[in-house]
Structure 1
């Protein structure tokens, strides 16, 4: 074997070693985000942190979710918004759910449980022009929601969970998806989410 062959072998060995050690330090957390099922509320009503129950077809709605999401899996950590419409689904997935207030939906303040048509048009137009930074009267801005959801994510990342399931709301899921995929918040609502929809991400 000549020196050129030896050098090629050494290069291959070094590349293999580098790939191996990089793989040891590359960590991905599997995140399964689930939007709650259909809430029991009339269409056209503004609701965020109001504790709305779910409709009577709940057990039918969750069947596809139960087929796709691991139940009481020892390698999975389960998180949920404490609001009833999320809590009922989370309880079907695990006996050890961790509830976190940072996973609650946007707080619409004085607009909660009002018909959208009954909300002051001037205030509504201002909010719709800049929904990221402007809040509903006595409510929370979307950037505020984003701050708490990303704070939640940053906290659990350092705990080195292998897999996590999060049962939450459309606003929370869009916020986390935007953060992980580096999507501007103004574009985050391009993600359409049906009730009971599942979104899987790696982070």
Structure 2
């Protein structure tokens, strides 16, 4: 499953260059790994959205299992570790970053959907009329007075663009300068050589589903049908492609959905 989105604007992370009369984008490959936080210590059937509920087990224990799963999936390259600010994500991401000896970046754009007046209420206690109103407009509806799914998708794409640029910039700074090249040599190298980077984020089911719907050009309703367990891994690959009209675009493909420890791959839908 794959889709192409513009390289300028939402979700873009292509550094483009104009060479001669052609607009050419640097060839980049992005390995995007989204991890849902582990199980939380709250009774089933409670809407907890942006509320800061705690984990069921120590974050370090969960992080070891997630790290082993990423190793089994051969996730490698320069790893940027990002997290929602809520404790159920941030503590796990910090433990992962510590294992990999790298910083953990806390990002407000990765926080779960704000359910407003529904927060910490039992789903069964919420007025059916409000639930039906939300179901009738999953994209933009907000009968709870909180945040819409579209708003979550927008800020998740904003984070992704920022994270990709940050990671590629870090890689360029860490790469030693090599032998000077002529303009024609630089042009050839830019068009043929791919930069590859890995971005890992520990976040929430809502954020993962909304971002996936944008990357794969699916509806929010279709995204909500995908199962997504606590501690599961979802993996995407983004690759820039040349387009006549815009110069470059990034094509996203889903490599694995709801991957759990001990499973190399599971059905993607």
Structures share a fold, TM > 0.5?
Answer: yes
What is the aligned length? 178
Q: Say which is worse superposed, 95-104 or 55-64, in terms of deviation.
A: 55-64
Which residue number corresponds to residue 103 of structure 1?
110
TM-score (structure 1 length as normaliser) = 0.80
Q: CA deviation at 1:110?
A: 0.7
Q: Is the 8 A contact 1:111 1:136 kept in 2?
A: no
Q: Which of the residues 132, 135, 138 maps onto 1:128?
A: 135
TM-score (structure 2 length as normaliser) = 0.61
Which residue number corresponds to residue 88 of structure 1?
91
Cα deviation 1:44-69 (Å, max 9, x = unaligned): 11110000100136555444312133
Residues 1-203 of structure 1: pairs in structure 2 closer than 5 A: 25-56=26-57, 60-69=61-70, 75-95=78-98, 96-159=103-166, 161=168, 162-203=197-238
Distance of 2:40 and 2:143 partners within structure 1: 21
Cα deviation 1:158-184 (Å, max 9, x = unaligned): 335311100000011112222222222
Q: Say which is worse superposed, 49-58 or 93-102, in terms of deviation.
A: 49-58
As a proportion of its length, which structure holds more helix? 1
CA RMSD of aligned residues (A): 2.0
- Please, which runs of 5 or more residues in structure 2 have no aligned partner? 1-24, 169-196, 239-269
Q: Secondary structure at the match of 1:156?
A: helix
Q: Secondary structure at the match of 2:158?
A: helix
Q: Taking structure 1 as reference, are residues 74 and 160 closer, same or farther at Cα in structure 2, changes over 3 Å only?
A: closer
Cα deviation 1:58-96 (Å, max 9, x = unaligned): 5554443121336xx882111000101001110111041
Q: CA deviation at 1:186?
A: 2.3
Distance of 1:112 and 1:74 partners within structure 2: 38
Distance of 1:148 and 1:75 partners within structure 2: 24
Distance of 1:196 and 1:119 partners within structure 2: 27
